[in-house]
Chains A and B, each alone.
Chain A
Amino acid sequence: MKLRVRINGADHELEARTDESILDVVRRELGLLSVRETCGIGVCGACTVLLDGEPVSGCLLLAPLADGREITTVEGLGGDDPVQQAFSDAHAFQCGYCTPGMILTAKRLLEETPQLTEDDVRAAMSGNLCRCGSYVKIVEAVLQAANA
Chain B
Amino acid sequence: MHEPEWLAPASLEEALALKAERTDATVVAGGTFVGILVNQHLLAPTAFLSLGGIRGLRFVAEHEGELRLGALATHRAVELSPLVREKWPALARAFSLVASPRVRNRATVGGVLGDADYASDPPSMFVALGARVVVQSRHGAREIPAEELIVGYYETSLAPDELIVEVIVPGGPHRAAYRKFRTRSHEDRPSVGVAACARDGGLRVVVGAVAGRPQYFPELCTGEPASIAQAYAEAIDPIGDISGSSEYRRRVIAVEVRRALEEIAA
In the docked arrangement, what's the CA distance between A109 and B102, Å?
Answer: 11
Contact of A55 among B6, B36, B105, B187 (CB under 8 A): B105
Interface residues of A in 1-47 (CB under 8 A from B): 1, 17-19, 21, 40-43, 45
Evaluate whether A60 and B4 lie within 8 angstroms (CB atoms) in the complex, with A40-B40, A127-B100, A127-B103 already known. Answer: no
A61-69, A74-82, A87-95, A140-148: which lies at the interface: A61-69
- Residues of the B chain whose Cβ atoms lie less than 8 Å from the Cβ of A108: 101
In the docked arrangement, what's the CA distance between A40 and B50, Å?
Answer: 21
B34 located at the interface, meaning its Cβ lies under 8 Å from any Cβ of chain A in the complex: yes
B38:A127 contact, CB within 8 angstroms: no
CB distance from A65 to the nearest CB of B (A): 6
B6:A60 contact, CB within 8 angstroms: no
Per-position 1/0 for B97-112, Cβ under 8 A of A: 0011111011000000
A60:B28 contact, CB within 8 angstroms: no
In the docked arrangement, what's the CA distance between A42 and B31, Å?
Answer: 11
Interface size for chain A: under 10, 10 to 19, 20 to 34, or 35 or more residues? 20 to 34
A64:B35 contact, CB within 8 angstroms: no
B226 located at the interface, meaning its Cβ lies under 8 Å from any Cβ of chain A in the complex: no
Evaluate whether A48 and B102 lie within 8 angstroms (CB atoms) in the complex, with A21-B39, A40-B39, A59-B35 already known. Answer: yes
B200 located at the interface, meaning its Cβ lies under 8 Å from any Cβ of chain A in the complex: no
A64:B38 contact, CB within 8 angstroms: no
Per-position 1/0 for A123-138, Cβ under 8 A of B: 1101110000000000
B6:A126 contact, CB within 8 angstroms: no
In the docked arrangement, what's the CA distance between A18 and B35, Å?
Answer: 11
Contact of B31 among A40, A48, A60 (CB under 8 A): A60
A99 located at the interface, meaning its Cβ lies under 8 Å from any Cβ of chain B in the complex: no
Give the total number of A-B pairs whose CB atoms are below 8 A apart: 90
A41:B3 contact, CB within 8 angstroms: no
Interface residues of B in 46-79 (CB under 8 A from A): 48, 50, 52, 76
B251 located at the interface, meaning its Cβ lies under 8 Å from any Cβ of chain A in the complex: no
A64:B50 contact, CB within 8 angstroms: yes
Interface size for chain B: under 10, 10 to 19, 20 to 34, or 35 or more residues? 20 to 34
Interface residues of A in 103-123 (CB under 8 A from B): 105, 108-109, 122-123
- Residues of the B chain whose Cβ atoms lie less than 8 Å from the Cβ of A21: 35, 39
- Residues of the A chain whose Cβ atoms lie less than 8 Å from the Cβ of B17: none
B101:A55 contact, CB within 8 angstroms: yes
- Residues of the A chain whose Cβ atoms lie less than 8 Å from the Cβ of B35: 21, 42, 57, 59-62
B102:A18 contact, CB within 8 angstroms: no
A57:B6 contact, CB within 8 angstroms: no
B44 located at the interface, meaning its Cβ lies under 8 Å from any Cβ of chain A in the complex: yes
Chain A residue with minimal CB distance to B43?
Answer: A19
Evaluate whether A64 and B105 lie within 8 angstroms (CB atoms) in the complex, with A40-B39, A41-B39 already known. Answer: no
Evaluate whether A65 and B52 lie within 8 angstroms (CB atoms) in the complex, with A19-B44, A21-B35, A43-B187 already known. Answer: yes
B5 located at the interface, meaning its Cβ lies under 8 Å from any Cβ of chain A in the complex: yes
Evaluate whether A127 and B36 lie within 8 angstroms (CB atoms) in the complex, with A55-B101, A62-B31 already known. Answer: no
B38:A62 contact, CB within 8 angstroms: yes
In the docked arrangement, what's the CA distance between A1 and B47, Å?
Answer: 13
- Residues of the B chain whose Cβ atoms lie less than 8 Å from the Cβ of A1: 3, 6
- Residues of the B chain whose Cβ atoms lie less than 8 Å from the Cβ of A56: 102, 105-106
- 17 inter-chain pairs at a CB distance below 8 angstroms, sorted by A residue, are A1-B6, A18-B5, A18-B6, A41-B36, A51-B105, A55-B105, A57-B35, A57-B106, A60-B106, A62-B31, A62-B34, A62-B38, A64-B48, A105-B101, A105-B102, A126-B100, A127-B102
Known: A122-B186, A126-B100. 4 other contacts (CB 8 A): A19-B38, A41-B36, A64-B50, A109-B101
